[in-house]
Amino acid sequence: MEAFADFWATYSTLIFTVGIHALLALSLWLTLSCGLLSLANAAFMGIGAYTAALLTLHLHWPFPMVLAAGALAPAAVALVIGAPTLRLSGVYLAMATLAFGEVTRILVLNLDITGGPEGLNGIPLLTTWWHIVLILAAAGYALARLRRSRMGRAFEAIREDEVAARMMGIDVEGHKLAAFTLGAVLAGLAGALNAHSTFFISPREYGFENAVDILTMTILGGISSLIGPVLGATILTLLPELLRFLHAYRLAVNGLILIGVVLFLPTGLWDSRRLRHLLRAWRARREGQP
């Protein structure tokens, strides 16, 4: 038991981070499942984190309400900026969301209420491990149900071919806005949980690099299933810990992984179709040699 206590004391932050990153990767998975490449999810996370932290610090709201507000605030922002932005597609959408992320970061950096570049300090540590597990499980379950629902199928149709989807009578704009906003809800939740598990937040944690990190996790894992993003988040969170001996060159490994995946594993690490194929080949080989 004591060994476990030691282990927990050393690694609990890391385990919390894995869970929060998994939630973020799922939030991007949701937007990508509708064919939208958004670089705004880090900003949504930041909006959720700051909203939640300010409500706890100044108004002393109960934690469940803080979490709900942390999820809803970025969703409201997503609704407002989504309506005009989502008319853009492909790289133009990526650029617009990047610009939104930068404007958000600069605003947070310069407002008084957000504490400027120093950020917010002394946020009570209200997040416990079971909050993260519960929310991650609920999000996973909801997303799994969503995939098989009418809405999930519509997302997939839009991703594959927007024009064809429109011809089938799918409300393309409405569904895109839904995917973007629901993604913001998950990212905001991750931000609120993160703010209450790290004691301290600053604008630096929600910039372009973080948007890229979220993207890397999701792409590395693969978007063909929900396991992919969680797997990608876990690997990329644990990897830097394992690569400590590389010092400053540590991040280069992330970059190389991203390039390698794009070049050699376009569908990501966890491609259910490929795995099924491999499994079948393995079985066939075993049955072939009695």
- The footprint of another protein (CB under 8 A) covers 37, 84-85, 87-92, 94-96, 98-100, 102-103, 106-107, 109-110, 162, 208-209, 212, 215-216, 219, 247-252, 254-259, 262-263, 266
Is the CB of residue 187 less than 8 Å from the CB of residue 211?
A: no
When the beta carbons of 138 and 259 are compared against another protein, the nearer one is 259
24: left (phi over 0), alpha (psi -120 to 50) or beta: alpha
> How distant, in Å, are the alpha carbons of 105, 125, 131, 253 from that of 200?
16, 10, 19, 27
Mapped onto helix, strand or coil, the DSSP state of residue 2 is: helix
Tokens of 175: 């569904």
Nearest to 222 by CA among 162, 275, 178, 152: 275
When the beta carbons of 21 and 131 are compared against another protein, the nearer one is 21
When the beta carbons of 112 and 287 are compared against another protein, the nearer one is 112
Nearest to 140 by CA among 186, 108, 91, 194: 186
When the beta carbons of 114 and 197 are compared against another protein, the nearer one is 114
How far apart CA 290 and CA 286 sit, in angstroms, is 7
How far apart CA 151 and CA 155 sit, in angstroms, is 6
Query: 2 forms bridges with which residues in the sheet?
Result: none
Q: How far is the CB of 89 from another protein (least distance, A)?
A: 5
Is the CB of residue 20 less than 8 Å from the CB of residue 67?
A: no
When the beta carbons of 130 and 249 are compared against another protein, the nearer one is 249
Q: How far is the CB of 191 from another protein (least distance, A)?
A: 21
Is the CB of residue 39 less than 8 Å from the CB of residue 98?
A: yes
